């Protein structure tokens, strides 16, 4: 029994590989080239496989298919290199599907890091790319540290502390690193208290959200998630309440600088035009420890660092201390062995997509 089985009556399990094949087929049915479609499927399903449902297949019909069907993300868009300085590259994504493009950017960054010790790829004209951690992990596959940060284009859903107007998006960032013989370290976070996906998931489920996620115009806590999309509530920053909201807001501005100001992508502030998540900017960075120290020593020290965290005595017996990336790796292993858990509602949505496109929906495990 795992923590994914807490509500067995509301979930089904679908074979891991069959779910990836189905999602790939959905993208190819929308004219995404096969290699891109597979990469996009892996990036999207990563959320469901690791238990980050808010960034998984729930967004297939809410974000990605509308992007493709509207033409805002051309299925065969060809990103262009605008500047190449060896260790640093600037790309215009040309609206390409972010689920694929972000991984390509990290692979390029890793190739440059192999030559220069670091590789930085700055991207503008991008679209939503799902879980930042999935793309940061691609650097770990090369024995490197990966950093990913993205703004939300012109989307404005969070207000500066003491401000009356929303100016920034959730502006996520991620860092992934090898952890020796342990599962990789993967920090994947929004700079707001939570991402919008968690709020909307609660709204779909008809469940309240904890105080501190949302606030009204007076700064009072809001627990009804439906009030977010109705415009009656806005996201709070990481660190709020309690006076620490300047930390989350500062991190959000940091991401805006690195991910949008540097490549020349769409900015949240100054407020002008529709608050849409078009012209997203992101930064991917690969750092190669082997360029500055002996790889075996790095591996040994990483193993000791994260092993020490896991060995920390817990406050409560049966609730071990872990680190970001460890629980997700455990869920991924469980999903590979026993199937990916999907809510009945999401499984029904995928069935509708399958019927519309003439595809076979994967059966339950």
Boundary residue ending a domain (182, 213, 234)? 234
Q: Are residues 129 and 216 located together in one domain of the fold?
A: no
Q: Are residues 76 and 105 located together in one domain of the fold?
A: yes
Boundary residue ending a domain (184, 211, 234)? 234
> Is residue 365 in a domain?
no
Whether the CB-CB separation of 290 and 302 falls below 8 Å is answered with no
**Mean pLDDT on 193-217:** 91
**Mean pLDDT on 267-279:** 73
Please indicate whether residue 39 or residue 156 has the higher confidence score (pLDDT).
39
Q: Are residues 136 and 61 located together in one domain of the fold?
A: yes
Total number of residues shown for the chain: 365
Q: Are residues 64 and 177 located together in one domain of the fold?
A: yes
Q: Are residues 227 and 264 located together in one domain of the fold?
A: no
338 contact partners, CB below 8 Å, separation of at least 6 = 13, 365
Q: Are residues 140 and 248 located together in one domain of the fold?
A: yes
Q: What is the pLDDT of residues 153-176, one digit of tens each?
A: 998 889 999 898 889 999 999 999
Question: Can you tell me whether residue 88 is helix, strand or coil?
Answer: strand
Quote the pLDDT of residue 4: 45
> Is residue 113 in a domain?
yes
Boundary residue ending a domain (213, 234, 255)? 234
Q: Which has the minimum average pLDDT: 98-107, 170-179, 198-207?
A: 198-207
Please indicate whether residue 224 or residue 271 has the higher confidence score (pLDDT).
224
> Is residue 351 in a domain?
yes
Q: Are residues 111 and 163 located together in one domain of the fold?
A: yes
Q: Are residues 178 and 293 located together in one domain of the fold?
A: yes
> Is residue 210 in a domain?
yes
Domain count, the chain: 2
Helical (H) or strand (E) element with 330: helix 326-338
Whether the CB-CB separation of 364 and 14 falls below 8 Å is answered with yes
Q: Which domain holds residue 223?
A: 202-234
Cβ burial 255-271 (10 Å sphere, 16+ → b, else e)? bbebbbebbebbbbeee
Cα distances from 228 to residues 54, 197, 255, 302, in angstroms, run 16, 11, 23, 41
Residues forming a β-bridge with 14: 340
Q: Quick one: what percent of the chain has pLDDT higher than 90?
A: 86
Q: How far is CA 259 from the centre of its chain?
A: 14
> Is residue 58 in a domain?
yes
Mean per-residue pLDDT over the chain, rounded: 94
Q: Which has the minimum average pLDDT: 114-118, 229-233, 247-251, 262-266?
A: 229-233
Whether the CB-CB separation of 254 and 127 falls below 8 Å is answered with no
Quote the pLDDT of residue 273: 58
Band of the pLDDT at 109, cuts 50, 70, 90? very high
Quote the pLDDT of residue 270: 74
Task: Kindly report the CATH number assigned to the domain that includes residue 151.
Answer: 3.30.1370.60
> Is residue 364 in a domain?
no
Report the sign of the C-alpha dihedral through residues 202, 207, 211, 214, in that order: positive
Band of the pLDDT at 201, cuts 50, 70, 90? confident
Res 7 pLDDT > 80 = no
How far the first Cα of the chain sits from its last, in Å, is: 16
Residue bearing tokens 């805002």: 72
> Is residue 128 in a domain?
yes
Count other C-beta atoms under 10 Å from residue 288's C-beta: 22
Q: Are residues 207 and 311 located together in one domain of the fold?
A: no
**Mean pLDDT on 343-359:** 97
Q: Are residues 132 and 221 located together in one domain of the fold?
A: no
Q: Quick one: what percent of the chain has pLDDT higher than 70?
A: 96
> Is residue 88 in a domain?
yes
Q: Are residues 164 and 92 located together in one domain of the fold?
A: yes
Band of the pLDDT at 94, cuts 50, 70, 90? very high
Q: How far is CA 88 from the centre of its chain?
A: 23
Q: Are residues 221 and 316 located together in one domain of the fold?
A: no
Quote the pLDDT of residue 241: 76
Instruction: Report helix angle 98-116 to 34-50, nearest 10.
Output: 90
């Amino acid at each position: 029994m795992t923590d994914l089985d807490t509500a067995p009556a509301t979930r089904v399990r679908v074979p891991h590989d069959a779910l990836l094949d189905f999602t790939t087929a959905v993208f190819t049915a929308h004219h995404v080239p096969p290699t891109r479609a597979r990469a996009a499927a892996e990036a999207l399903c990563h959320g469901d496989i690791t238990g980050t449902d808010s960034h998984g297949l729930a967004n297939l019909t809410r974000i990605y298919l509308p992007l493709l069907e509207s033409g805002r993300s051309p299925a065969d868009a060809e990103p262009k290199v605008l500047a190449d300085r060896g260790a640093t590259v600037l790309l215009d994504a040309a609206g390409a599907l972010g689920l694929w493009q972000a991984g390509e950017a990290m692979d390029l960054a890793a190739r440059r890091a192999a030559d220069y010790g670091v590789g930085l790829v700055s991207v503008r004209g991008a679209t939503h790319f799902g879980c930042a951690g999935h793309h940061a992990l691609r650097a770990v596959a090369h024995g490197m540290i990966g950093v990913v940060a993205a703004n939300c284009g012109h989307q404005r859903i969070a207000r500066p502390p003491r401000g009356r107007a929303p100016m920034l998006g959730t502006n996520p960032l991620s860092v992934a690193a090898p952890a020796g013989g342990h599962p990789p370290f993967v920090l994947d976070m929004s700079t707001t208290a939570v991402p919008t996906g968690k709020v909307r998931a609660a709204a779909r489920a008809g469940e309240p959200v904890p105080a501190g996620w949302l606030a009204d115009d007076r700064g009072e806590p809001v627990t009804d998630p439906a009030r977010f999309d109705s415009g009656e509530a806005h996201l709070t920053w990481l660190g709020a309440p309690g006076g620490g909201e300047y930390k989350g807001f500062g991190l959000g501005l940091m991401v805006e600088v690195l991910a949008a100001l540097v490549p020349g992508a769409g900015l949240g502030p100054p407020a002008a035009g529709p608050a849409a998540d078009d012209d997203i900017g992101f930064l991917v960075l690969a750092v190669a420890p082997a360029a500055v120290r002996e790889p075996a020593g790095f591996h040994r020290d990483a193993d000791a660092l994260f092993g020490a965290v896991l060995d920390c005595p817990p406050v409560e017996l049966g609730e071990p201390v872990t680190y970001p990336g460890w629980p997700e790796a455990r869920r991924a292993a469980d999903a590979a062995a026993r199937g990916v858990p999907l809510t009945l509602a999401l499984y029904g949505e995928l069935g509708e997509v399958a019927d519309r496109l003439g595809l076979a929906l994967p059966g339950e495990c």
